[in-house]
Amino acid sequence: MTMPPRPILTATRTLAASAAISIYYCLIAFAAISATSTTTTSCSFSSCYVPKPKSPTTATIFYFATAFSLPLPRSRIFATSSSINKAAASSTLFQRQVSTISRSNNNNSNRNTIIMAASSTISSTAATSPISFMDYSPAYKSLVNHLRTISHLHHASSVLNYDRQVFMPTSDLSSMARGQQLATLASIAHEKSIDPQLGTWIAQAKQDLVKLKEEQQQHEDIGNSDVSLKEDELVDVARLLELEQKSYHKQICIPLELAARKAELEASANHAWVKFLAPLSSPSILSIPPNSQNCTCYATTQARQNNDFASFAPLLKDCFDTASEIANLQLCGGEDNTNNNISLYSQMLDEFEMGMSSERMDALFHEVQTVLVPFIAQVRDSDNVPSLDALSCSSSNEKKKRKFPIVAQKEASHTIVSALGFDNSRGRVDVSVHPFTMALSRHDVRITSRFNDEEWYQGLMGTIHEGGHAMYEQNLRCESDLSIDTALSMGVHESQSLFWERHIGKSKEFYKWAQPIMKSSFHTTTSDKEVEDGQGGEGEFDYSAEELYEAVNAVDFTNLIRVDADELTYPLHVILRYNIERDVIAGKLDVVDIPARWNKDMEQLLGVHVPDDTRGCLQDIHWSCLAIGYFPTYLIGAMMAAQLSHYCHQDIPNMDTMIEEGKFDEIREWLRKKVHVHGKRYKSLDDLLLAEVGEQLNSKYFINYLTGKYSNLYKINF
């Protein structure tokens, strides 16, 4: 099999690499894995919030896919028009407001005071726009127009990509043509993102902003109330310039040699992967899907087939080393990233969860681990085990054995996600191989789910989870079409999907409302064919709301696989991976020693013996994608979701009654005001929470949620 023509690779070597692109495409493969499980008792719908790529590697990967006549990746992926590299630099004014507020000062009597102080320069910005300054600065106007062009290119790519994953013909030729189209758009967008003129416009716009502030101050000093721009509008402009300057410097600080080496690392195994993938006749939750275009898939797959970590270790070490080299340059190379007090791993975390240091995560995760390890052991010993009969067709009750027709599941899921607040006039729900959410624009946000007639749980929970992502996107401000009006971080995005999936969709009150909908949709039919033929089945869907609630929240204590884990054990799967990757980056753990460390930690944290590396340290694709620092955002999102749920209940005392009655408007509006409309105006997840609910991220809400819920479910005293 021939390699691609040299010009493609040569062109790749001439552009700077983006840290986001390898994550984007590697997580396509990872996300596909996470959605292939057939287990219905303990699925975790931890979908990815991943940015649009801004690197020429896009063109290379699409070329490899199409040159070998392979379908492009069909993934469970969340795509937006922002770059993950657009990590927040804080507003100086906002920093002054929050710097004196103690994180521990969070009792109700002080909550409103804290919120008012922390949000005094931010809260009103939801009604302002950073584009007003265009009338006062030609450089800023040119910058905004340039950034909008890049955004439009990404949105155009999203349209093509969504069509490819949902509607496009399956012909290899169709895939090849679409890959070439997407590669062209990605290359154009990347060239624009590293245009030297961007740096010039940003610098000039910052000078113009200072000048305008001085002029307005002079007018105010002499009593002239005719102010050109309001203070919060100026803060918006400053914030946008900070975001774009940081993004620009991250783009250009990577040497061409490193960019080429990174691209080669991503692409070198494609030829071998294509050649030797055929023996994988039945991909499972542990195998790389045949349509995944991750360049390191072959090495990973072969290592997993042979249960041979040693053969994969050299490549994995190269991935860790290259990711470290890139992070070090981004930490020290850009004028915005000269803080030597930031650790290398904290810089990696900042790519995914801006403003969250490893020291902060250490403290949060230690609090969770200290409580959950003994609690899970106590739950495991309980004699009160919930029945799983309500989840699938394999009921122990012969009268209730049945199928769940796909058409009926789609109907129920669409009814429920629409009731939750997904705006069908600005979006749509489709079916794909793997669930994902994609924002083609603020007014066109689409979600997909997948369904299995053997069970109903994955289809419904997947739709609700993706609906949470989509509602965040639909409620972001749309006027500017700039980075300031995009999602704050991966953890924040995950908090929105988990808020709806877990705190609404897994609650008792939810099933009191949803049970009649499900019963009406599923009635007594047994298969899609019988629905088409107008025939009925023998089984009955006659489970109570309590039975449904218990079944969807049951714990699988023997599970080894993160993507199959229930919400009680899932945090420890994340903490294990976090500790390992942090220690590798710090030089405390060699890559070759990862299996031994993994197996030991699984025993200590979850009491589970790992029989082989396939079901151990080789199960995830993140590290081979250089996505180091990504894992902890799953747990950060879960913690934030629990904290938001606590304060939402506090601000809406009858929230449980509303859920039981299917009235979600006030809950959704609360989230919109507290999270959605602010985009990237806050420096971090901590700052957003401090300003909007009165305290930074606090693990106690997540811990109390899990221990309270599962103490009641398994009838234990903890």
| DSSP state string for 210-243 | HHHHHHHHHHHHTT----SS-HHHHHHHHHHHHH
Query: How do residues 286-298 score in pLDDT, each as one tens digit?
Result: 233 333 333 334 4
The per-residue pLDDT for 396 is 62
DSSP conformation class of 384: -
Query: How do residues 637-682 score in pLDDT, each as one tens digit?
Result: 999 999 999 999 999 999 999 999 999 999 999 999 999 999 999 9
Q: Is the pLDDT of residue 718 over 60?
A: yes
Q: Is the pLDDT of residue 510 over 90?
A: yes
The per-residue pLDDT for 682 is 96
Residue 103 — pLDDT band, cuts 50, 70, 90? very low
The per-residue pLDDT for 525 is 54
Mean pLDDT of 139-164: 94
H-only helix segments in 502-560: 508-522, 528-533, 545-552
More confident residue, 206 or 303: 206
The per-residue pLDDT for 207 is 95
What is the amino acid identity at position 633?
A: T
Query: How do residues 514-572 score in pLDDT, each as one tens digit?
Result: 999 999 998 755 555 555 554 444 567 889 999 999 999 999 999 999 988 999 999 99
The per-residue pLDDT for 222 is 72
The per-residue pLDDT for 152 is 94
Residue 485 — pLDDT band, cuts 50, 70, 90? very high
The per-residue pLDDT for 215 is 86
Asked which of 269-283, 538-552, 697-711 is least confident by mean pLDDT, the reply is: 269-283
Q: Is the pLDDT of residue 328 over 70?
A: yes
Asked which of 33-42, 609-618, 688-697 is least confident by mean pLDDT, the reply is: 33-42
More confident residue, 696 or 182: 696
Cβ atoms within 10 Å of 583's Cβ, excluding its own: 16
Residue 48 — pLDDT band, cuts 50, 70, 90? very low
Asked which of 144-153, 276-285, 330-339, 545-554 is least confident by mean pLDDT, the reply is: 276-285
pLDDT-above-90 percentage for the chain: 51
pTM of the model: 0.80
Highest mean pLDDT among 319-323, 529-533, 698-702: 698-702
The per-residue pLDDT for 425 is 96
More confident residue, 361 or 481: 361
Q: Is the pLDDT of residue 46 over 50?
A: no
Task: Tell me whether residue 433 is exposed, middle or buried, using C-beta atoms within 10 angstroms of its C-beta: 0 to 12, 13 to 18, 19 or more.
Answer: middle
Mean pLDDT estimate for the chain: 78
More confident residue, 526 or 216: 216
Strand order in the sheet with 77-79: 48-50, 77-79, 436-441, 444-449, 427-431
Contact 449, 435 (CB under 8 A): yes
Q: Is the pLDDT of residue 607 over 90?
A: yes
The per-residue pLDDT for 523 is 76
Q: Is the pLDDT of residue 116 over 80?
A: no
Mean pLDDT of 498-517: 97
Residue 180 — pLDDT band, cuts 50, 70, 90? confident
Q: Is the pLDDT of residue 100 over 70?
A: no
CA distances from 321 to 126, 590, 623 (A): 42, 11, 11
More confident residue, 349 or 11: 349
Mean pLDDT of 591-595: 96
- Pairing assessment for the beta strands 444-449 and 436-441 based on DSSP bridges: antiparallel
Q: Is the pLDDT of residue 11 over 50?
A: no
pLDDT-above-70 percentage for the chain: 70
More confident residue, 267 or 185: 185
Mean pLDDT of 407-427: 96
Cβ atoms within 10 Å of 704's Cβ, excluding its own: 13
The per-residue pLDDT for 211 is 92
Contact 317, 329 (CB under 8 A): no
Determine the 3-state secondary structure of 440 from DSSP: strand
Look up tokens 């913690």; give the residue: 639
Residue 209 — pLDDT band, cuts 50, 70, 90? very high
Q: Is the pLDDT of residue 34 over 70?
A: no
The per-residue pLDDT for 182 is 87
CB-based burial, 117-135: b 16+ in 10 Å, e otherwise = bbbebbbebbebbbbbbbe
Q: How far apart are CA 663 and CA 672, in angstroms?
A: 16
Residue 217 — pLDDT band, cuts 50, 70, 90? confident
Q: Is the pLDDT of residue 429 over 90?
A: yes
Contact 365, 577 (CB under 8 A): no
Query: How do residues 161-177 score in pLDDT, each as one tens digit?
Result: 999 889 999 888 888 88
The per-residue pLDDT for 183 is 82
The per-residue pLDDT for 32 is 34
Q: Is 477 left (phi over 0), alpha (psi -120 to 50) or beta?
A: beta
Query: How do residues 348-404 score in pLDDT, each as one tens digit?
Result: 999 999 999 999 999 999 999 999 999 999 999 999 999 998 888 766 666 666 788
Look up tokens 């081979």; give the residue: 624
DSSP conformation class of 425: G
Q: How far apart are CA 88 and CA 446, in angstroms?
A: 27
The per-residue pLDDT for 129 is 66
More confident residue, 441 or 392: 441
Residue 75 — pLDDT band, cuts 50, 70, 90? very low
The per-residue pLDDT for 332 is 80
Residue 622 — pLDDT band, cuts 50, 70, 90? confident
Asked which of 218-227, 314-323, 331-340, 461-470 is least confident by mean pLDDT, the reply is: 331-340
More confident residue, 147 or 290: 147
